[in-house]
Amino acid sequence: ATPTPPSVFPLVPCCTKTGNAPPDTSLACLVTGYFPSPVEIKWNSGKVTKGVTTFPEVTMSNGRFTQSSLLIIPARSRQGDTNQCDVTHQGTATTLSKTFPQEVCGSTAPPQVHLLVPTCEESSTESQLELVCLLLSFKPGNANVKWLVNGKESSPPTPAFSSAMGTDGFYMGQSRMKVTKQSWEKGDVYTCQVIHPAVGAELSIVTKKPALSLDPTIYLTKPSYEDVIKNSGRVTCLVLGYDSAASSITWKVDGQVSSAAKTEPPKKNSNGTTSLVSSHPVSLAQWGQGTQFTCKVTTPCSVELTQDITMGSLKAPTIYLLSPSSEEICSNQNLTLHCIVKDFYPGEVSVWWQEKTAQMEVDIPADDENHNCDHNSQQCSVISKLEVSRSRWILGTSYSCLVAHLSSEGIIARNVNVHTGKTHLSCFIHAP
């Protein structure tokens, strides 16, 4: 007969009904179909000898041979180690190894418990409501589910729990509880209590009808002017409330429906509310023209809610440049010029100074700015101060306050010197 190498099959025990391995795990290594005899069977390359039983060789009807070896692992010794069956057949110079899985019956996994409550449509139309206790991604597939009403076990008895295994080997299950509309409306507290082999304690999840209004609240905010000039400005509509995930948002721009908005997926908050955010782009032209944006929210359980916001119209600044007083010139070596910029909107503005003599012009950054904005009246103001030497002022050096604001295409300038100022000197200044 022709020499034939063996086929090696690792055999594992069946799991118990609870999904757990038997108290003692038996691993068998079946070596079959080889010729000539013999084969050598070892466990973990010969490192494991305790608990090993190798059975006598058997001749099959086709003249080839079969042999098996059994390894018994006590429960106290089972720690998830990998075991390996190594087979050597001298007749064909063949060596084969087969590895057994670490967990023969698979690891346990506790359930993810969710409690599904009636929607507001069901609460308003149905006379009898239903709560669903949903268990996901658990194994083994057996679980004990109880319902409590206001802390006491429900009557009539808890409905049956049913489960099924998915393609990933994990189970999902559910238990449904019928409740009356009267009980739900008055705020009775319902608890789904779960006991599972993978959890050392009970899992409980509690629900009742939300005490707060189901009508959402709308928060509408403008973009910053900096974002607008960068072409990234968006007006944002935040909807906060219960059942907001089922809400829809539509936008109008100056009364005309717009499809340019972007609505993000709803976000569940820790307090049980849901946030829904939608935003609409705002152009520089829309900002300057005072365009009105309307966010309209429609929910399954409330009337339509709307909120409007108007972009700020452009207001050009009024500028005053104040010279130092006669008293200040007579008594101080350093004088202060004041540039008052007022009644402009929006608040983004650039202010700087310029010193000019017959020989040169020098730009001076603004210092000590006082910037205030009243967004309700859309009026802003800035006061900038510049300290100059008395000697340069008296010699006729000119000073300019320069202002750049989006309401004006160019730079607005106000100039002052000893000759243009309305100050009349009435003191004697002695040279040092």
- Residue 157 located in a structural domain: yes
Whether residue 296 is found in the same domain as residue 379: no
* Number of domains composing the chain: 4
90 and 15 share a domain?
yes
| Cβ neighbours of residue 300 closer than 8 Å, sequence gap 6 or more | 119, 120, 121, 243, 246, 247
Query: In this structure, are 408 and 329 located in the same domain?
Result: yes
pLDDT confidence of residue 432 = 47
Mean pLDDT computed over 253-270? 91
Residue 401 lies in domain: 318-416
Q: Establish if 241 belongs to a structural domain.
A: yes
pLDDT for the residue numbered 14: 66
Identify the domain boundary among 264, 290, 310.
310
CATH code of 391's domain? 2.60.40.10
User: Is the per-residue pLDDT at 357 higher than 80?
Assistant: yes
**pLDDT interval class at 99 (50, 70, 90):** confident
Mean pLDDT estimate for the chain: 83
Q: Does a structural domain hold residue 429?
A: no
**Considering the domain boundaries, does residue 148 fall inside one?**
yes
Do 133 and 179 lie in one domain? The reply is: yes
Greatest mean pLDDT among 161-165, 265-269, 270-274, 351-355: 351-355
The amino acid at residue 73 is I
Query: Does 124 share its domain with 203?
Result: yes
pLDDT band at 67 (very low <50, low <70, confident <90, very high): very high
- What is the reported pLDDT for 164? 87
Q: Name which of 153, 277, 265 is nearest 216 in CA terms.
A: 277
Q: Are residues 202 and 221 in the same domain?
A: no
Of 207, 234, 250, the domain-final residue? 207
Beta bridge partners of residue 314, listed in sequence order: none
CA distance 406 to 349: 8
User: Are 70 and 133 in a shared domain?
Assistant: no
76 and 124 inside one domain:
no
Rounded-to-integer distance, Cα 407 and Cα 403, Å: 11
Residues 127 and 40 in one domain: no
Same domain, 158 and 224: no
* Tens of pLDDT, residues 184-218: 888 889 999 998 877 766 777 777 665 545 568 89
For residues 86 and 164, state if they share a domain: no
**Does 77 fall in a domain?**
yes
In a domain, 237, yes or no: yes
Q: Does residue 426 fall inside a structural domain?
A: no
Q: Nearest Cα to 20, choosing from 109, 82, 98, 99?
A: 109
Residue pLDDT, tens place only, 111-129? 998 888 887 666 666 778 8
Same domain, 11 and 62: yes
pLDDT at 106 over 70: no
Percent of the chain surpassing pLDDT 90: 35
Residue 105, in any domain of the structure: no
Chosen domain end from 310, 334, 366: 310
